[in-house]
Amino acid sequence: MNTLIIINDPPYGTERLYNGLRMAHALIKRESAVTVFLMGDAVSGAKSGQKTPDGFYNVERMVKRVTIKGRVLLCGTCMDARGLTDDEMVNGAQRSTMDALAEATEQADKVLVF
């Protein structure tokens, strides 16, 4: 199965990004093809160098886990609006476009939005 997960919320403050990535991990374990598209404030979740308190989840590590067997696409317009550059992002996460999101949506068997 090909699943697209679209996430809009910031990495911390709400748990939508956290839960969307948890779902991605669970689907990858079941050998589904997973694409995660981060847009809006969620693009900040793919910024490298995050330091979180001990015992608190770290979205950067969660994004890296998805890139191993799935795809993480980042809305380029959203990155630009937040002053984020490609060099600041997690290895394996790719700057992307709305056209790529439209294509991923057409190819997906299921689309989940967080």
Residue pair 88/47 in contact (Cβ under 8 Å)? The answer is: yes
CATH of 2-113, one of 3.30.70.100, 3.40.1260.10, 3.40.50.300, 1.10.1520.10: 3.40.1260.10
What are the tens digits of pLDDT across the range 16-55?
A: 999 999 999 999 999 999 999 999 999 999 999 999 998 8
Residue pair 62/21 in contact (Cβ under 8 Å)? The answer is: yes
Q: Residue 100: what residue type? A: A
pLDDT of residue 84: 98
pLDDT mean over 71-82: 98
Residue pair 82/45 in contact (Cβ under 8 Å)? The answer is: no
What are the tens digits of pLDDT across the range 97-114?
A: 999 999 999 999 999 999
pLDDT of residue 75: 98
Strand residues in the chain grouped as ranges (E): 2-7, 33-38, 71-75, 93-96, 110-113
Single pTM value for the model: 0.96
